[in-house]
Amino acid sequence: MNERGSPLQARAAAPAEALTRREALKVGAGFAAIAAVAGALGGCGRASTPAAPGFAFLQPGDVRLFTALAPAVVSELGRFDEAERQRLVGRMLQVIDGTLFAMGLHSRQEVRKLLDLLAIGPLRYALTGVGAWDEAGVEKMQGFLARWRGSRFATLNAGGNVLVKLSASSFYLLPASWPSTGYPGPLDYVFNAINA
């Protein structure tokens, strides 16, 4: 694989603007203390874990997290049959992977801290109230996101926002999602003028 990943990952990097460097820094700075505690307990330091097969950045636990987040964040997924929903979630994961892979090194490291902490079972449960991601269900995932996004703690608030932005923007970037949202797609004359 080249430095930028697959062509899909390179195209998928577009929503990187939706996740600002400032948001990534807020997440990382706040979770640094938790990471120190987790490291002392021998549970952190997962950055050396290889990416999941077919991904440049996402590790297996990250794939499970974002697979569980997708239907909790994107209600439009419920409009598709099971096979199409799984296909769309797979495409979403590729977009998220490409977005994170395309971020600057420091921002990538800060988001990695959040994802690593959420991969540690006891910490995940303490921070989110969720045990295994694949057993959580939509309501439990929505509850965790609502608590984090409404938290008075800036770190949890920023972490929830990052997870939601990554999930939502990855879906709405996919042309297959546009009819379900009522978006007709880019206007031909604008597209042609920009790409002339």
How far CA 8 is from CA of 54, 101, 147, 185, in Å, comes to 11, 12, 33, 20
Residue 41: pLDDT above 70? no
pLDDT at residue 165 in the model: 96
Phi, psi of 62, deg, nearest 5: -65, -40
Predicted model pTM = 0.76
What is the model's pLDDT at position 23?
59
Question: Which one, of 92, 105, 109, 93, lies nearest residue 3 by Cα?
Answer: 105
What pLDDT digit, counting tens, does each position of 96-147 carry?
Answer: 999 999 999 999 999 999 999 999 989 899 999 999 999 999 999 999 999 9
Q: What is the mean pLDDT of residues 51-58?
A: 96
Residue 68 near residue 143 (C-beta atoms within 8 A): no
Helix residue ranges, H only, 17-104: 21-40, 60-73, 82-102
Q: Which of the two residues, 102 and 6, has the higher pLDDT score?
A: 102
List of residues 6+ apart from 123 with CB closer than 8 A? 34, 38, 43, 117
Question: Letter for the amino acid at 82?
Answer: E
